[in-house]
Amino acid sequence: MNKLDEIQWKIDQLRTAASNVKHRDLKRLAEALGRTRDTRRGKEPTFVNKERKWTPLSIPAHRTLAKGTVHNILDQFEDDLLWLREREEDKTNGE
């Protein structure tokens, strides 16, 4: 299992436990996808990837997160993962 497969597995695990996800779990996943915390933005912790110019993503630092919030964050992570998989595929095809 490669790194991207492990990240997808973790996203799937968090999605099934959406009512019990901690912000630390989402923060670790954001960092695994290459996002870093941007301390210059807003009240909530915001994660960006300046190199790839991805949409900034806020991950509320609350004790519990609403299921909808968790699902929206995980949807963004899956978009990030798709981009990374496409890039990896381009590298293996010699582009």
pLDDT values of the chain reduced to their tens digit, one per residue, 95 residues: 699 999 999 999 999 998 899 999 999 999 999 999 998 887 889 999 877 778 899 999 988 899 999 999 999 999 999 999 988 888 787 76
Task: Describe the strand order of the beta sheet including 36-38 as a list of residue ranges.
Answer: 36-38, 46-48, 57-58
Cα within 13 Å of Cα(1), Cβ side: 7
Sequence-distant (≥ 6) Cβ neighbours of residue 1 within 8 angstroms: 9
Sign of the dihedral through C-alpha 78, 83, 84, 88: positive
Start-to-end CA span in the chain (Å): 24
For the entire predicted model, the pTM comes to 0.88
